[in-house]
Amino acid sequence: GDSVTQMEGPVTLSEEAFLTINCTYTATGYPSLFWYVQYPGEGLQLLLKATKADDKGSNKGFEATYRKETTSFHLEKGSVQVSDSAVYFCARIKKSGWGKLQFGAGTQVVVTP
């Protein structure tokens, strides 16, 4: 069935380091892809999205490109801050857009000063 797989955490980085979180998805039906971020004790916030192949989503210095050939949607940020410490979830939804989000397991990111 449809699924999303992302790298396990925790990922521990120093401030200003480069961050990559890998995410791959099953290719059934050309889904839309998302990254959500969850800060401690809070709900999920949509970070960025991409709806078709080669789309690049970007927000707050984060970027991810919808790669159909590798079925991937890796999240990157060039210079992380302590405030980026959170859990990051990759997710997919079927092309029509309505219905359940399918989430990866989440990757905890810890940025130290």
Partner 1 sequence: NAGVMQNPRHLVRRRGQEARLRCSPMKGHSHVYWYRQLPEEGLKFMVYLQKENIIDESGMPKERFSAEFPKEGPSILRIQQVVRGDSAAYFCASSPGTSGDNSYEQYFGPGTRLTVT
Give the residue with the Cβ less far from partner 1, 101 or 110.
101
Q: How far is the CB of 98 from partner 1 (least distance, A)?
A: 5
Q: How far is the CB of 55 from partner 1 (least distance, A)?
A: 12
Distance of CA 41 to the CA centre of its chain: 19
Q: How far is the CB of 27 from partner 1 (least distance, A)?
A: 19
Q: Identify which of 21, 2, 18, 1 has the alpha carbon closest to the alpha carbon of residue 10.
A: 21
- Chain residues in the site for partner 1 (CB under 8 A): 32, 36, 42-46, 49, 51, 89, 93, 96-106
- The bridge status of strand 107-112 relative to strand 11-14 is parallel
**Residues of 95-107 as b/e, b for ≥16 C-beta within 10 angstroms?**
eeeeeeebbbebb
Give the residue with the Cβ less far from partner 1, 10 or 78.
10
Q: In the Cβ-directed half-sphere of 7, how many Cα atoms lie within 13 Å?
A: 14
Q: How far is the CB of 17 from partner 1 (least distance, A)?
A: 25
Give the residue with the Cβ less far from partner 1, 42 or 69.
42
Give the residue with the Cβ less far from partner 1, 65 or 108.
108
